[in-house]
A = this chain, B = another copy of it.
Amino acid sequence: MTDIRGKRIDCLDKGFVRLIDYMGDDNAIVQAARVSYGEGTKQVSQDRGLIRYLMRHSHTTPFEMVELKFHIKLPIFVARQWIRHRTANVNEYSGRYSIMKEEFYLPDIDQVRPQSTLNKQGRSDERLESEQAERVLGMFRESQKRSYQEYEEMLGYDLAREIARNNLPLSLYTEWYWKIDLHNLFHFLRLRLDSHAQYEIRVYAEAMAEMVKEVVPFAWEAYEDYTLYAQKFSRAELLAIHKMLALAGAQELDDANLKELGLSAREIREFRDKMSTIDDVHEEVKMPGSGVSE
C-alpha cells in the first residue's frame, strides 16, 4: 500500500482537504480487537471477516484505534456546521492574531438553486433561472469585494483585527487542522455524505471518504455495506414489509441464493434471525382489523 500522507483534494472553488498524518490501518483495528476479544476472535479468523463482524455488530472501539489528521481550507459557514462534531481536535486560523486573506466562496452557477419544496432545510434539484442566478452571483461577488476593501481600510486605521473581521461574510475561507479517530470520522461521514447535508460540506466529506478508503480499505468496505448503504426500518415499517411478503406468499430464499447475494454463512444466520423477529413482532402487536389473511 502506498503512503498517502500529504495527499490533497481540492474542494469547492478555493478549498481543500489534505491528509497530514494518520496512525494505524486495517491491521491496527484487527490488533485492537484481538486484545479485546482474545480467544473469541479466533473463530473469525481472517482480518477482513473480523472487521466486517465488528462493523456489523457495532463493536466500535477497535475503530477508535485509528487516528487521522487533516489540514482543511473551508468557508466559515461550512466550518460552523463541521465544528458541531465535538469529538475531534481542532486548531483553527485565528482572525484575532492574523489578517484574514481575501478568499471567499463563490458558488458555481450550477449550485445557485431555489429552496427545496420537499426538504425543509435544503436546496432544490432545479436551478434558479439564469438572470436571477447571475444577479445573485453578482451580489455575492460585489459584496465580498467591498467587505474586504472595508476590512483593509479598517486595518489601515489600526482597528483591532478582532473587531474588523466581524464585517466579513460567512463565505470567507478559514483553515484548520482537524484530527479525529476513525469511528468518529465514520459518524461524521454518515451525516455529511447524506443527501440532506448541505452540498458544500458534502464535497469535503467526499474528499475525506476518498482518503479513508485508501487508508483502511477493509473497514471502508464494511462501512459501506453495513452503514452507508444499510437501511433502518421502524417497527411499523417492519410490519409493512412483513405484510407485503405475507400477502404475496413470498418464500424464504435458500442459503445458496443468499450467498449469491453476498451474505456470509454467519450473515445468513443473522438474516434469518432478523426475518423471524419481524414475524414475531407481527404476532405480538395486536392489530385489530389489520386485514392480513393469516
* Chain A interfacial positions (CB closer than 8 Å to B): 21-24, 28, 31-33, 35-41, 43, 56, 58, 61-62, 64-65, 67, 69, 71, 75-77, 79-80, 83-84, 86-87, 89-94, 96-99, 105, 107, 111-116, 120-124, 128, 132, 135-136, 139-140, 143, 146-147, 150, 153-154, 157-172, 175-177, 179, 181, 191, 198, 224-226, 229-241, 243-245, 247-253, 257-258, 260-263, 267, 271, 274, 277-278, 281, 287, 289-291
Contact = CB atoms under 8 A, between A and B. Distances in A.
A128 B22 CA distance: 47
A278 B231 contact: yes
Contacts of A32: 91, 177
Given A67-B23, A167-B143, A248-B249, A290 B115 contact: no
Q: How many copies does the complex hold?
A: 4
A170 B171 contact: no
B21 A22 contact: no
B232 A230 contact: yes
A245 to B, nearest CB: 6
B225 A165 contact: no
A37 B229 CA distance: 27
Contacts of A24: 21, 69
B35 A62 contact: no
A261 B274 contact: no
B229 A231 contact: no
Given A36-B97, A233-B231, A114 B158 contact: yes
A151 B222 CA distance: 38
Nearest to A59: B91
Nearest to A250: B248
Contact of A162 (B121, B237, B274): B121
6 contacts: A39-B97, A65-B91, A86-B86, A115-B161, A248-B249, A248-B250
A106 to B, nearest CB: 10
Given A231-B278, A250-B250, A159 B23 contact: no
A234 to B, nearest CB: 5
